[in-house]
Amino acid sequence: MTSQLLSLRTEASFQCLPLTADLRRFVQVHGEQDGAVVVSGQHTTTAVIINEMEERLLMDLKRWLSQQAPPGADWKHDDLELRHGIPDDEPRNAHAHLQALMLGNEVTVNVSHGELQLGQYQEVMLVELDGPRQRRVSLQWLSA
């Protein structure tokens, strides 16, 4: 298997979901010892990051993102009446798009001798910025 699609359900407007265990299973199933895994979010209001999954740090992340791109600010994307062809249930979520742009939507994790090359406190995470929703994350194996 050289690729896999993860399907995840988020439960809050902001949430960090761990992905590292899924990556480890993907590497084990793939069977090659050396290469890399590309992890890509398939949504414009999520991010994929590598950082410490510590509760207070995640609270700080949420606060920092809200300061940089606050919900409810005068964002042009949220002028729904000026946009054509959007669904009736379209959310005012410009802040989530902008926050995702700041964090990024893809990471690559090296694999050596069948092990993810992550530091002691590093966790690969999907960051939900506009939930709760059903989300997808793509895993792609790159050969060494």
Mean pLDDT value of segment 27-40: 92
Rounded CA separation 109/40 (Å) = 11
What is the per-residue pLDDT across 101-121, written as a single tens digit (0 to 9) for each? 999 999 999 999 999 999 999
Q: Which of 56-60, 87-91, 110-114 has the lowest mean pLDDT?
A: 87-91
The mean per-residue pLDDT over the stretch 113-136 comes to 97
- CB neighbour list of residue 125: distance below 8 Å, 6 or more residues apart: 16, 17, 18, 19, 48, 49, 50, 51, 53
Q: Does the pLDDT value for residue 25 go beyond 70?
A: yes
Predicted confidence (pLDDT) at residue 53 exceeds the cutoff of 90: yes
Residue 144 scores a pLDDT above 80: no
Taking the C-alpha atoms of residue 113 and residue 109, their distance in angstroms, rounded to an integer, is 13
Q: What is the dihedral of CA 46, 52, 58, 62, to 10 degrees?
A: -50
Whether 31 shows a pLDDT value over 80: the answer reads no
Residue 78, pLDDT score: 93
pLDDT band at 1 (very low <50, low <70, confident <90, very high): low
DSSP state string for the chain: --EEEEEEE--SSSEEEE-HHHHHHHHHHH--SSEEEEEEE--TTEEEEEE---HHHHHHHHHHHHHHS-TTS--GGG-GGGSSS--TT----HHHHHHHHHH-SEEEEEEETTEE---TT-EEEEEESS-S-EEEEEEEEEE-
Mean pLDDT in residue range 63-87: 94
**Predicted pLDDT of residue 89:** 86
pTM: 0.95
Domains and CATH numbers, the chain: 13-70+93-143 (2.60.120.460)
Res. 56: pLDDT tops 70: yes
